[in-house]
Amino acid sequence: MELKLGRRIFNVTNKDLILDNGKVFILITQKYFADLVYQNPTVSKTTFRKLLKEGKIKLSNKKYVSTICEERYDLYEFVIEDNE
């Protein structure tokens, strides 16, 4: 499935994950090169809600543990059928 975030288009699969840290949604399994560094794309709240409402993402059993403060954050995984 192709996902347009900003001006970039990312090809996401069932293995891709979105991190919800309470402030921003980050597609942590994809990267792009900008300003001389690799960055993870952010997902807008509108796009995130749309994907969740359409059933294209769901809450994963996995949790992301921060290395700095050891907080646990929710991860969402994509639900993509093979014919898409």
pLDDT at residue 83, as a whole number: 60
Note down pLDDT in tens along the chain; length 84 residues: 999 998 999 999 999 999 999 999 999 999 999 989 999 999 999 999 999 999 999 999 999 998 899 899 999 999 987 665
pLDDT at residue 35, as a whole number: 86
Structural domain including 40 reads: 2-78
Q: The pTM is what?
A: 0.87
Q: Does 13 map to a domain?
A: yes
Backbone angles phi, psi at 11, to 5 degrees: -95, 105
Q: Does 84 map to a domain?
A: no
pLDDT at residue 84, as a whole number: 54
Nearest alpha carbon to residue 77 among 67, 65, 63: 63
Q: Does 40 map to a domain?
A: yes
Number of independent structural domains in the chain: 1
Collapse the DSSP code of 37 into the 3-class scheme (helix H, G, I; strand E, B; otherwise coil) and give the result: strand
Q: Does 83 map to a domain?
A: no
